[in-house]
Structure 1
Amino acid sequence: MSAPVRQALFGDLLDFTADPGWAAPADALPAVRWRPDHWLLIEDGRIVAAQPQAPGDDWQRHDHAGRLILPGFIDTHVHSPQLDVIASYGTELLDWLERYTFPAERRYADPAVAHAGAQTFLDALLAHGTTSAVVFPTVHAVSADALLAGAHARGMRLIAGKVLMDRHCPDGLRDDVASADADSRTLIERWHGTGRLSYAMTVRFAPTSTPEQLAMAGRWMAEVPGLYMQTHVAENRTEVAWVAQLFPEARSYLDVYHRAGLLNGRAVLAHGIWLDDTDRALLADTGAQIAHSPSSNLFLGSGLFGWQALEAAGAHVSMASDVGGGTSLSMQRTLADAYKIQALQGVRLTAFKALHAATRGGAEALGLAHEIGSFDAGCSADLCVWDWSHGAVARHRDALAQDLHERLFAWLVLGDERNLRATWVAGQPRHQRD
């Protein structure tokens, strides 16, 4: 039997033991696990301990003194093919889909395009500090296959599935119930539970699926243990009105998915801006989560997300870049935009609360806190090493910080992927900057 692979990383370790909530920074500290100048011990890809003293000579040591070490970020809603249309000008949601997104996604019917796009996207996630994600490919089975294969090769914790769209979409992006059912069966058998992958029934959004297709997705959710569901809900007021016309029998947009059997603790619904109290209670009752996509909501002018109201109702909230409606895969930029959205509503989002949502909070919402999102013993060693500052302005600001929260908030607001030194996945370095 070969000897265990033992790695030790030295630096400033930060993760969370609980949700810091909406308390002031000083009052949130009991949920913050801050261990400066510590060694994080990793054996065979999993975290075994953290300690101030150096381990023995049988550990391979990596000295990152003076740098911040965080769990890898978890992006709970992102579109892999939409790197092609990131930073596209001038439209709201529905026009944006027609003008930019659908033409880009049609190209992914080509296996070569699907493979190259998946490689670029996955490497970009790692280069921005994201080690786990819930991802939309395209309607083409080859797109999902390439994405899941690429994630498996990198050892990543990925949740994804072929997009379902059998109406209200262009030629080249439309499937039907029978073909979608057959493709789902093949992809589930190939990838669900393989390595660190999970399959997700991926409903684009209610308008692009017939009731029959939604029911088909619901049957898969009922039959396959551990299957996820991802979709969009209540992002834009025009979209909400369209759903009401298409599904007059449903009480609300969210209720469309509930009637199809698609809401449970593994349901991830992006946006959730235009929800009411009954919707929020339904999310809490079913365990479904809202993947908050602040950069996208600002960029497309969709609206301001009511984070506190959702959590007050008992619903889960996680963090998402949503690229390409969003403007960056950087979770720091995403969280900085989340701060602005809450500030516009008179709420102050602390760096502690924001980072919890993008690490342990996201893991808990996905039912994966035993595996990702923290430095708990037994978790996969998915982590990132960050410089506290990059550039003269950030270095100046960092030097003046008076406490941990002030320093962390400045890092979050002023930082991005240029601060990233290294990304590790399951104890293996997958991205490094000289």
Structure 2
Amino acid sequence: MPDAISIIMAKRDGHVLSEDQIDWVVDGFTRGIVADEQMSALAMAILLRGMTRAETSRWTAAMIASGQRLDFTDLPAPAVDKHSTGGVGDKITLPLAPLVAACGAAVPQLSGRGLGHTGGTLDKLESIPGWRADLSTADMRRILSDPDVGAVICAAGADLAPADKKLYALRDVTGTVESIPLLASSIMSKKIAEGTGSLVLDVKFGAGAFMKTREGAHELATAMVELGRDAGLPTVALLTAMQTPLGLTAGNALEVAESIDVLQGGGPADVVELTLVLAREMLELAGIRDVDPADRLADGSAMDRWRAMIAAQGGDPNASLPRAKHTEVVTAPESGVLTELDAMAVGIAVRQLGAGRARQGDAVQFGAGIELAAKPGDKVRRGQVLFTLHTDTPDTFAGAVETLASGWTIGSDAPAPSPLVVDRVS
């Protein structure tokens, strides 16, 4: 019979855990038999010693087995989902889900709320009056089966991989979030339990991403693709740059408005590009090869799906979005070229303005955030507005402006252009 202390010591000493040890410790932790301090010690041992592919696969399976497993493979359309590891201005899920649904797939998108410098998809959508994130499985199935909708973005139920939710809370306060095996299994346990038929991963790297280096992002992407393959879930990962924010907005309602611009055929070029790249990957995995998602943006059908999706979840697609009570602008002190715009600085400033949260459970301001008037490579002139800051609490402007000031520079030479998508792992 396994026990917590022997399992901790085995991993501490660099041994490979057996399937029985992994099953026992994950189940025991979920049921409260394994104490928080014991699982914290094991998580640190895993961070330092690592896990083999077989260990990580079994750990993921054990977390899935801790709760409910959904199955949407019997929907009228093939089910495909996307997961992003998060960044600043990353609003891609909002236009992507209705766009892929407009192309003939079903999109069961389980999303989360923001924490730290990264925004949360649910926070953004909750800025739409009436929209609700909490749906039953029956609600999800009904919406996904509706030929006029076909996409849902909602919160994961409490019964979906509960071991992961409990373990993540520990990892967050014990310095073990960075463990690749634990991070990969955390993401993939929820996505596999969700019951989609295939999965596309957007693994970001750079200043505004969780993974700072391309090498780290590639390691994480490879681990997740392998976990998908081991579970029989066709999975593809794209490595995308997050050195500078995506699009021209960061903040909840501001990003919703920008997403609607994309669905109406406009929007910033980088947001449109990544939306279409991910849509094509999702459609390829779903076996839908006779539709170009760019056509669905152009003909308005993606926008129709957005309106239907919002209404199906109780939202009013015609309602005005929240606007902050106060704004302040930052202008260019000199003429030249914007050579740098650090996504992390923008993300922290957005949180300071009230759009994000420092701790789980903090309230967010739906209208707070930052609008960008220039991106790296753009020419600017002295006195030109670079950023417009939005908040209901004007006493936060000074700190946000100070944070932002460390993240941008103006020079004489434009930086070399860099691709948005840099690699693909399958």
TM-score scaled to structure 2, two decimals?
A: 0.27
Q: Which has the higher strand share?
A: 1
- Compute the TM-score of the two structures, normalised by the length of structure 1: 0.27
